[in-house]
Amino acid sequence: MSLITFDPARVPTFQVAAKSLLGDTQMRKNVRHATDVIQGKRKIVVDEMPDWQQLRESGRQIKEHTLKHLDHYLQQFEENCTKAGGVVHWARDAAEARAIVIDLVKQSGSNEVIKIKSMTTEEIGLNKGLEAVGVHAYETDLAELIIQMGNDLPSHIVVPALHKNRQQIREIFKREMNLPNLGDKPADLAEAARTFLREKFLRVKTGVSGANFLIAETGGVCVTESEGNGRMCLTLPETLITIAGVEKVIPRYQDLEVFLQLLPRSATGERMNPYNSIWTGVHPTDGPRSFHIVLMDNARTKILADDEARQTLACIRCGACQNICPVYRQTGGHAYGSVYAGPIGAILTPQLQEMHSGQSLPYASSLCGACYEVCPVKINIPEVLIHLRHKVVEQDTQGFGALNPEALAMKAMAMLFTSERRFRAAQRMGRMAERPLVNKAGWVTWLPGLLGGWTQVRDLHEMPRQTFREWFEQRGATDGK
């Protein structure tokens, strides 16, 4: 029924999903408001940094260097984490990662887990996997709790419930927490979440987290957050299981000095996140007695192997590209059919699905370049979008695909452009062909086929009687030049 799903087998194209979501005026209003606020905050704290461009460049270089030597740094991380009492697991794909986590949760003897917001666990559908074996996962981030209780899907990588406003959130909490008199002030809603989760934090013995950074040099892990739910999950359980994509490793502790400046300012417009936690393996008498980390590939090595797309893996999941994106601003995140929405989702999702689905996503962009401009690690998203579009065209023009109307039109246009004579002829032909469509005032208000999208909301003025080149040549002749 609903077009909103993240299941690659059922997900509609971006175009279809977007068309339907554009009708949700409340959601669009919520998204516009939230992205306007967050962009404004980001701008203030970025503009106060005279060395912002230098930080971006360093961030880019650190990521590029790490990806180039990823095997080295992962092994170094594994060695140091193990020395510090952590257990390192490796997972080739989502299914393997899920199986490992489920196994570890069972070993921990708990049928409940408390979770920190983690896009990686969303990516692998961990909650459903746990539910299937009778383990309940409590999302503890406020936004994730809203999503979980509302039986919804995240629409933003930093603020997953950004598409909901306070009244909608109140309705969900009222129903799910049985609080008939709950107010709709953000503080009331946060208080409700605090009370609801406190007991879980103190009771549940197993925690699951993602990671922002894995530090190869020390074997440590860094998680940044705002609410303190992360600290609860990282500190109070007896067993902690962390899942991270292999690209999350950074070479050294010192490198945090770059990312801890870039990330909070880009993500939430804060000078620093309220909380950053850094831990290394197991700390006796402080925190979990057992710590496991799952290093997951899940198509990341495929991206690594593609020179032109490799930079996708530099992403630190700040969401700045989503907040600035004029397309995301209109559609919200669900149109992207993936936990990774917006510009970064448009390049990451199809690649994580190894180009088996999500082919419409690289086209979900006007290539305006705002994402590249704000990206704290300088991922040239438009460049990667264009690269992926080429891959999609290669897929679509295989065999009989070469006969699809768009491909034929493109080939025909290319033919015209490779000959001055043909191009001139086409200009003349165009004027004639257009004539029946032109109204008395000289405007085209309806176009057939592929071009119909244009005249849905726009008119097109008729082609002038004379092309520029005809004018120029005529002028040359009369001027005697």
Partner 1 sequence: MANSLEARTEILRRIRVATGKSANAAAIEAEWKAIQRDYKLAASVDREGLLHQFEDRLRDYDAGVYRVTADGVRALVGQILAERGKQTMAVPAGIPSEWLPSEVTFVEDLRGDVSPIDACEGVLTSATLAIAETGTIVLQDAPGEGRRAVTLLPDYHLCVVDAAKIVQTVPEAMARLQATAHVATTFFSGPSATADIEMTRIKGVHGPRFVDVILIVA
Partner 2 sequence: MAYHDWDVSNRVRNYFRNFFVDATQEHRLRVSLFITCYNDTLFPDTGKAVVQVLERLGHTVVFPAGQTCCGQMHWNTGYQEEALPLLARFVSQFKDAEAVVIPSSSCVAMMREHYLKMAEKIGDKQLIADVEDLLPRVWEFSEFLTKKLGLTDVGAYFPHRVTYHASCHGLRSLGLGDGPVTLLRSVKGIQLVEIKNLEQCCGFGGTFAVKNAEVSSAMLGEKVQAILNTQAELCTACDNSCLMHIEGALHRQRTGVKTLHLAEVLAGTESGAR
Give the binding site for partner 2 (CB under 8 A): 14-15, 18-19, 22, 47, 53, 326-327, 329-331, 362-370, 372-373, 378, 383, 386, 389-394, 407, 410-411, 413-414, 416-420, 423, 427, 430, 443, 445, 450-454, 456-461, 463-464, 466-473
The smaller minimum CB distance to partner 1, of residues 124 and 260, is found at 260
- The tokens for 254 are 């010192």
- Report the candidate in 451, 347, 338, 325 with the shortest Cα–Cα distance to residue 391: 347
Minimum CB distance to partner 2, residue 386 (Å): 6
Minimum CB distance to partner 2, residue 436 (Å): 18
Minimum CB distance to partner 1, residue 135 (Å): 19
- The tokens for 409 are 């039109």
369 binds, among partner 1, partner 2, none (CB under 5 to 8 A by kind): partner 2
Task: Tell me the backbone φ, ψ of residue 216, rounded to 5 degrees.
Answer: -60, -45
234 binds, among partner 2, partner 1, none (CB under 5 to 8 A by kind): partner 1
Q: Which amino acid is at 194?
A: R
Residue 337 · residue 24 · CB < 8 Å: no
> Token pair 């400046």 is at which residue?
261
- Helix or strand run (H / E) with residue 237: none
152 binds, among partner 1, partner 2, none (CB under 5 to 8 A by kind): none
Minimum CB distance to partner 2, residue 196 (Å): 37
Q: At what angle do helices 420-434 and 405-417 cross, to 10 degrees?
A: 130
Percentage helix, strand, coil, to 5, in the chain? 55, 10, 35
366 binds, among partner 2, partner 1, none (CB under 5 to 8 A by kind): partner 2
Residue 42 · residue 266 · CB < 8 Å: yes
Minimum CB distance to partner 1, residue 404 (Å): 32
In angstroms, the CA 23 to CA 19 distance is 7
174 binds, among partner 1, partner 2, none (CB under 5 to 8 A by kind): none
Minimum CB distance to partner 1, residue 109 (Å): 18
> Token pair 């193990």 is at which residue?
82
Residue 313 · residue 74 · CB < 8 Å: no
In angstroms, the CA 366 to CA 351 distance is 20
The smaller minimum CB distance to partner 2, of residues 226 and 467, is found at 467
- Report the candidate in 357, 375, 314 with the shortest Cα–Cα distance to residue 61: 314
The smaller minimum CB distance to partner 2, of residues 354 and 420, is found at 420
- The tokens for 346 are 């448009």
Minimum CB distance to partner 2, residue 404 (Å): 12
460 binds, among partner 1, partner 2, none (CB under 5 to 8 A by kind): partner 2
- Report the candidate in 115, 142, 275, 130 with the shortest Cα–Cα distance to residue 210: 115
The smaller minimum CB distance to partner 2, of residues 17 and 244, is found at 17
Q: Is the dihedral of CA 433, 437, 439, 442 positive or negative?
A: negative
96 binds, among partner 2, partner 1, none (CB under 5 to 8 A by kind): partner 1
The smaller minimum CB distance to partner 2, of residues 171 and 308, is found at 308
433 binds, among partner 2, partner 1, none (CB under 5 to 8 A by kind): none
Residue 91 · residue 103 · CB < 8 Å: no
Strand segments, DSSP code E, in 275-433 are 275-280, 290-296
The smaller minimum CB distance to partner 2, of residues 104 and 325, is found at 325
- The tokens for 237 are 């359980």
The smaller minimum CB distance to partner 2, of residues 147 and 324, is found at 324
The smaller minimum CB distance to partner 2, of residues 159 and 463, is found at 463
Minimum CB distance to partner 2, residue 446 (Å): 11
Minimum CB distance to partner 1, residue 186 (Å): 4
Minimum CB distance to partner 2, residue 346 (Å): 11
The smaller minimum CB distance to partner 2, of residues 18 and 321, is found at 18
- Report the candidate in 269, 252, 212 with the shortest Cα–Cα distance to residue 49: 269
67 binds, among partner 1, partner 2, none (CB under 5 to 8 A by kind): partner 1
The smaller minimum CB distance to partner 2, of residues 53 and 195, is found at 53
User: What does DSSP say about strands 239-245 and 206-209: parallel, antiparallel, or unpaired?
Assistant: parallel
- CA angle (154, 372, 36) in 5-degree steps: 55
326 binds, among partner 2, partner 1, none (CB under 5 to 8 A by kind): partner 2
